[in-house]
Amino acid sequence: MATLSDPARPRLTAAQRREILKEDEAWVGKAFNVQANPRAIQANTRYLTMLLLDTALPHRASQAASFAEQLLDTIMSEHTGPPIACAKGCSHCCTTYVSATIPEILNLANSVRRTILRRERVMAAAVQCGATPQVQREARRVICPILENHACSEYAHRPVSCRYLLSKSLEVCVKMLQRNEPAEFQFADNVVAMRSFVIIMMKTALHLCGLPGQHYELNQALAVAMATEDAEARWLAGEPVFAAVPVDSNDQDTSPLKGMVHHLAGVIAPTI
Ligand code: SF4
């Protein structure tokens, strides 16, 4: 799969690239139908890639995560709707396994580390999660250390995987997440597709920049981010800062998203 450091990659002329960037302005950070607008997907992926390449920005990984998270909110605000059972004070889903890309982890860590109590809770949850294999997480639930009074205390910085988890049925959530009974989660309209495409954009941008794009278990990765001095700069420089954190078992090389990342990387590479 092409990366931007490949000296043999084809490249458009500077004038063509400028023209594409000008056209991108119509789509960057805007709401669009993810299943019917490949041009908008390309525009936002190019924006993320260029943001990650901008070495003048020391927190460019966190900034890329923040952009992707807000993009998902913007898209969801226009392309999903009632019935939605979720409301402030309902936190059944905050006991499930959560994974996120490293930029999302770094973005959340920047905020969590400012509050001592939250930081201590994350460290304790990381130990608990480290001792609980992913397959056992549904049976042995770990309450998210970011949760306070049944609400997300880092709502503005929560990862993509938390944002898209909108339910149509409280009854099903209680059954699955409180009583551990088998049931099929009732996702709100279109949220699964919207989350998938935002993840594809982020993974493509990370791949093009030669950075790892897997999803890591949230609590252990947060603990590493907070315990490592200059974690963001070191990760951006290629240090395997998160090597000891388990990757989400659903995010392997065989993931169906990989083919789409491959295709999108091939489209974006010549335009940068
Ligand atoms: S980060 Fe926030 S939304 Fe996500 S599981 Fe934790 S408390 Fe819930």
Ligand 1, atom nearest to 91 Cα = 8
Name the residue with higher pLDDT: 215 or 5.
215
Q: What does the alpha-carbon distance between residue 224 and residue 237 come to, in Å, rounded to a whole number?
A: 16
**Model confidence band, residue 155 (pLDDT cutoffs 50, 70, 90):** very high
**Model confidence band, residue 3 (pLDDT cutoffs 50, 70, 90):** confident
List pocket residues of ligand 1, CB cut-off 6 Å: 94, 98, 144, 146-147, 152, 154, 158, 162
pLDDT digits (tens, 9 = 90+) for 171-184: 999 999 999 999 99
| pLDDT at res. 139 | 84
Ligand 1 centre distance from Cα of residue 157 (Å) = 9
**What would the mean pLDDT of 132-145 be, rounded to a whole number?**
91
- Which of 86, 148, 154, 173 maximizes ligand 1 atoms within 8 Å of its Cβ, making it the mutation to test the pocket? 154
pLDDT digits (tens, 9 = 90+) for 10-44: 999 999 999 999 999 999 999 999 999 999 999 99
| pLDDT at res. 254 | 72
**What would the mean pLDDT of 65-83 be, rounded to a whole number?**
97
Residue having the nearest C-alpha atom to atom 5 of ligand 1: 94
pTM value > 0.95: yes
Name the helix (H) or strand (E) containing 23.
helix 14-24
| pLDDT at res. 214 | 96
Q: What does the alpha-carbon distance between residue 45 and residue 43 come to, in Å, rounded to a whole number?
A: 6
**Model confidence band, residue 123 (pLDDT cutoffs 50, 70, 90):** very high
- Which of 158, 217, 219 maximizes ligand 1 atoms within 8 Å of its Cβ, making it the mutation to test the pocket? 158
Cβ-defined contacts of 92-96 (< 8 Å, 24+): 92/173, 92/174, 92/177, 92/178, 93/162, 93/165, 93/167, 93/173, 93/177, 94/143, 94/144, 94/146, 94/147, 94/152, 94/162, 95/141, 95/142, 95/143, 95/144, 95/177, 96/137, 96/138, 96/141, 96/177
Instruction: Specify the pairing of strand 216-217 against strand 99-100.
Output: antiparallel
- Residue identified by tokens 């998902």 is 72
Residue having the nearest C-alpha atom to atom 8 of ligand 1: 94
**What would the mean pLDDT of 242-256 be, rounded to a whole number?**
89
Cβ atoms within 10 Å, residue 38: 14
Confidence check: pLDDT of 253 > 80:
no
Read off the DSSP letter of residue 151.
E
- Identify whether 83 is preceded by a cis peptide bond (ω within 30 of 0): yes
Structure tokens at 171: 């009854």
**What would the mean pLDDT of 228-239 be, rounded to a whole number?**
98
Ligand 1 centre distance from Cα of residue 92 (Å) = 10
What is the share, in percent, of the chain residues with pLDDT greater than 70? 100
- Which of 137, 147, 160 maximizes ligand 1 atoms within 8 Å of its Cβ, making it the mutation to test the pocket? 147
**Model confidence band, residue 138 (pLDDT cutoffs 50, 70, 90):** confident
